[in-house]
Amino acid sequence: MNRFELNTQFAIANQLSFDQGNGDWPFIQIHNAHARATISLYGGQVLGFHPHHATDDLMFLSERAFYEQSKAIKGGAPICWPWFGADTSGMNRGAHGFARNQLWRVVSTRELADDGATEVVLALNPSPKSLELWAHTFELTSTITVGKTLKIALVTHNTSDTPMHLTQAIHTYFKVGDIGQTQVLGLENTQYIDNAVGGNREIKPQMGAIDFTQEVDRIYTHTPPIMQIVDAAWQRNIQIQATGSHSTVVWNPWVEIAKKSADLNDGDYQEFVCVETANAADDCVQIAPNASHTLSAEYSITSLLPTFGD
């Protein structure tokens, strides 16, 4: 569908509309009583979420992001599916699966009666190309709820007659004021696989909060459902609540990788951290025929500044 057809079928007056975004792909623009948000149908990817009470957007989106077929958009919340990380199949498939490089279709849009939040349901179905890469039939849906919080619920339904195994992640780029004044809390006393340069995939313990003074590329295992990003430079706290996940990926490319990345400015590493709700490493999901699995993350922003009277 083009944006005119999409607006005819799925627009919500004074709340949701479709426009032509970068790459000539349809973008969903949401502006409701709680927040503004932008969603790209290419990748089924939330590109921005700005609650009205917050001073800045939740998400980082690179000024140099690619908006080209077969390339991922750098920023927002890319969907890594049905495998996370480098391909280990020997088939020479690209990293992080194919969902983030496909055009998703709109299933439904609606205003939620209880609080005026906006719900968008997107779907991705098999294609001849996807079946070459991954020999399963499936229905993948993403339910995106834009309200006081942002919720992304990724549901994989196995429509094939054999079990499927997958790894996946909601690869969210969180915007921060200064990576040097940023910490991630909630993963204390867990262990992680160190995938950074020189890390050699060693398993290491996490002692205390996660600070950023060098490249961080880690898969945390057996992780709790709630984590926080403390963004001291902007005096805000970002809470992440995950379901359907027992692993969390934390990533910041640091100086050298940012310089080598064509879709990042050299200094962009200072302005974001990725904390990814995932099924990764040993947290591999098996889905029986006609069964489903849901991976979801809910994000909220609160101020670190004391309120009047505290």
Residue among 50, 136, 246, 276 flagged as catalytic: 276
296-to-137, 143, 144, 154, 243 alpha-carbon distances in Å: 22, 9, 10, 6, 5
| Structure-token match 């101020």, residue found | 303
Q: Which of 260, 253, 294 is nearest to 274 (CA)?
A: 253
Cα 293 to the center of its chain, rounded Å: 17
| 236: β partners | 231, 303
DSSP result, 103-117: B-EEEEEEE-TTT--
Q: Please check whether residue 192 is in contact with residue 203, taking contact to mean a CB–CB distance below 8 angstroms.
A: yes
Sign of CA dihedral 184, 188, 300, 81: positive
Taking CA atoms, 3 is separated from 27, 69, 269, 277, in Å, by 8, 18, 34, 31
171 labelled catalytic: yes
Instruction: Rounding to the nearest 10 degrees, give the CA dihedral for residues 228, 232, 234, 238.
Output: 0
Which candidate in 50, 96, 136, 171 is catalytic?
171
Verify whether residue 53 is a known catalytic residue: no
**Tokens (6 digits) for 250:** 């934390």
**What residue type is assigned to position 270 of the chain?**
Q
Among candidate residues 93, 34, 38, the one with its CA nearest the CA of residue 61: 38
How many Å apart are CA 255 and CA 144, to the nearest integer? 33
Measure the CA–CA gap between 224 and 243, rounded to whole angstroms. Answer: 9
Calculate the CA 40 to chain-centre distance: 12
**Contact between 264 and 258 (Cβ < 8 Å):** yes
Residues with a catalytic annotation lie at 171, 276
